[in-house]
A and B are shown apart, each in its own frame.
Chain A
Amino acid sequence: MTRKLGYLALPLLMAATLTTEARADGETIAVFTKNQTNPFFQTVRVGADNMAKTLNAKTLQYIPTKPDSIPEQLSQIEDVVVKKPSAIVFTPVDYKAMVPGVEKINEAKIPVVNITDRSAGGKFLSFVGADDYSLGLETARFLLKTLGGKGNIVIIEGVKGSLTNVDRVRGFNDALKETPGAKLLASQPGNYQRLQALQVMENLMQSNSQIDGVLAANDAMAVGAIEALDGANRKAQVIGINGTKEAIDAIKSGKLLASGDYNGFAQGCLGTMMAIRSLRNQPVINEIVLKPTVITKDNYQPFDVPLEQRTCPTFEDAGKLGAK
């Protein structure tokens, strides 16, 4: 029964694709992001839309309804291979598990740019991303410098085993290693969740009477840790990563020391730019790893602008933004 329905749906689907293609005036860029829940990917999508608009192209957003779902992204790839957009801007929900999906895109000969998480395989015309390791390293360095190179530090880790967490925490630890005066008291899991980070912090404050610095692997956990500190009337310098709106507000009010900017907006902009440039036979940059920016009280202003009002970097800027 379902099979028969499937056969019925197929010609309908094909008709639908044909009509959209005929109507399109600019190129259609399919943009794949991991989920609807992390504000970071919202910045990626806004960046991609912004750039497509500037270059007179269109975007089609593909987001798994279940966050980071591997099977769902795979079926979205099957969908997109049938619909054949002009190009694809792709964030794998899992850098290893999505390789077969990327190979399907390659087989269908749709040009594809990899953004955010570097895929473990497949052919891409360009990669645009940020480096979690140097982001963790630089943001932690800033905190340790603020503390005068000494103090008791705790790390609140993200989801164990996730690519972003492994590299960010490695960056934190390396910054600690080069600061002999600082002492790591504990490195505990908060799973990128605010509530878990708050509870971890409450617990750690019980066993440690003096905590001077908190290195959190994302902003939600950093803000959760600050709530715990406030609740206990204690003070510590806290950093997070992602540069979310909430983090910027907390930096403005002096509650959060800094947030490492993962620069989703620029990643969305530049990924889309490279895809469109390659379609128009213009030169592309094969690899852009954005330099880490540590957002602090001194430089938060450009990040305090609503996403929709920000402007994408130009191609000339793109070369300068990358650190190799």
Chain B
Amino acid sequence: MTDISKEAMMPPRSFLSQDAVQVFYRLLAALLICAVLAVLSDSFLSLGNILNVLRQASLTFFIASGLTLVVLTAGLDLSVGANVALSACIAGTVIHKTGSPALGILTGLACGGLVGLLNGIMVTALRIPSFIATYGMLWVLNGLTYWYMAGETLHGFPAGFRQIGSGYLFGLPIPVYLLLVFLGIGTLFAQRTIWGQEIYAIGANPVAARLSGIPVARRLLLVYAVSGTMAGLASIIFLSRLNSAEADIGESLTLPAIAAVLIGGTSLFGGVGTVFGTFIGALILTLVLNGMNLLSVSANWQPLVTGIIVILAVWLDMKTRRRAQ
């Protein structure tokens, strides 16, 4: 296959600009939520609270950014939360045993990446639908983590290591820097590299992608490995921020990550969406929870409000998309 046919498979320009329009709508929605919260709560617009929201959104974003690439290929990775739990427990053990944060960080990233790679192998070589492969992986990882931890909690890590999750640099929390870096890398990778464009093409039409010479299996392996590695990164942030790890931290991370991707406008059918949209998605989810805490909304209503926001966001997305087409 020639490069020319590869070029032909790239999403046409209008696709990208439509994505830009969708991101713009989302940014408006986030700003609208901010405006409402600013009116309702005096403390919302303080610098402290804004940094607070960004730092809280970062953990969801790390997991969701890798997941975005998977969803762009019309796949899904349900094992991300369980992956964070296992990677955090293993990285934590390594730091405790060796006293070396660097070794722990590497182990956490490697563990996450390896799990992602295994997901990729199941999806490509064994041709198991990603939904089922990663759901199975979720159980395997939970089983391993529960067995390994046996009801114990790991806690107490070196002060230097803890800076990653809870430290500041020039007044900004360090996770916010990491968020900006990965937002930049993710956006550049998806929009400006051949590999990124091939990922869009695979999601839009896998058969056409294969026929035009895109190494589909290799790109899919990459995408799942990236998703796993980002879960590994999230596990390091989690460890250093909370100073501890336990087996059951994963479950409550998976759904918000998937919600961030969907609110961010990435289509479950593949080929459409952006990493920046996912960032806005994570931001909207965090803003809603932050606002409910600031306004002391009763614990009874919080899941309901979050659910409505997710449904509203996806509905609005489909409506504006249809109009654009």
Task: Please measure, in the bound complex, the distance between the C-alpha atom of A66 and the C-alpha atom of B294, giving whole angstroms.
Answer: 34
Does chain B have a CB within 8 A of A173? no
Task: Closest B residue to A154 by CB, please name it.
Answer: B296
Q: How far is the CB of B158 from chain A (nearest CB, A)?
A: 15
- B151 and A39: CB pair below 8 A? yes
Task: Closest A residue to B146 by CB, please name it.
Answer: A36
Task: Closest A residue to B154 by CB, please name it.
Answer: A246
Question: Cβ of B139: which chain A residues have Cβ within 8 Å of it?
Answer: 65-66
Name 17 A/B residue pairs within 8 A (Cβ), A-sorted.
A65-B143, A66-B139, A160-B300, A187-B296, A188-B299, A198-B241, A200-B293, A202-B55, A203-B49, A203-B289, A206-B49, A207-B41, A220-B153, A223-B243, A224-B242, A227-B241, A244-B153
Question: Cβ of A67: which chain B residues have Cβ within 8 Å of it?
Answer: 248
* Top 9 closest pairs, chain A to chain B, by CB: A42-B151, A203-B293, A37-B248, A189-B299, A36-B146, A207-B43, A206-B49, A186-B296, A207-B294
Task: Please measure, in the bound complex, the distance between the C-alpha atom of A242 and the C-alpha atom of B243, giving whole angstroms.
Answer: 19
Does chain A have a CB within 8 A of B197? no
Main SS at interface, chain A: helix
Task: Please measure, in the bound complex, the distance between the C-alpha atom of A227 and the C-alpha atom of B243, giving whole angstroms.
Answer: 8
Question: Cβ of A224: which chain B residues have Cβ within 8 Å of it?
Answer: 242
Does chain A have a CB within 8 A of B56? yes
Q: C-beta contact mask, A280-308 vs B, less than 8 Å → 1, else 0?
A: 00000000000000000000000000000
- B46 and A206: CB pair below 8 A? yes
Does chain B have a CB within 8 A of A199? yes
- A227 and B242: CB pair below 8 A? yes
Question: Cβ of A42: which chain B residues have Cβ within 8 Å of it?
Answer: 150-152
- B152 and A194: CB pair below 8 A? no
Does chain A have a CB within 8 A of B155? yes
Q: How far is the CB of B44 from chain A (nearest CB, A)?
A: 8
Size class of B's contact patch? 35 or more
* Cross-interface CB contact of A199 among B42, B43, B289, B303, cutoff 8 Å: B289
B contact set with A: CB distance below 8 Å: 41-44, 46, 48-49, 52, 55-56, 59, 139, 142-143, 146-147, 149-153, 155-156, 166, 238, 241-244, 246-249, 252-253, 289-290, 292-294, 296, 298-300, 302-303
Main SS at interface, chain B: helix
Does chain B have a CB within 8 A of A196? yes
Task: Closest A residue to B41 by CB, please name it.
Answer: A207
Restricting to A60-81, which residues have a CB under 8 Å from any CB of B? 65-67
Q: How far is the CB of A65 from chain B (nearest CB, A)?
A: 6
Task: Please measure, in the bound complex, the distance between the C-alpha atom of A66 and the C-alpha atom of B299, giving whole angstroms.
Answer: 25
- A36 and B150: CB pair below 8 A? yes
- B294 and A206: CB pair below 8 A? yes
Does chain B have a CB within 8 A of A32? no
Question: Cβ of B56: which chain A residues have Cβ within 8 Å of it?
Answer: 199, 202
- A246 and B244: CB pair below 8 A? yes
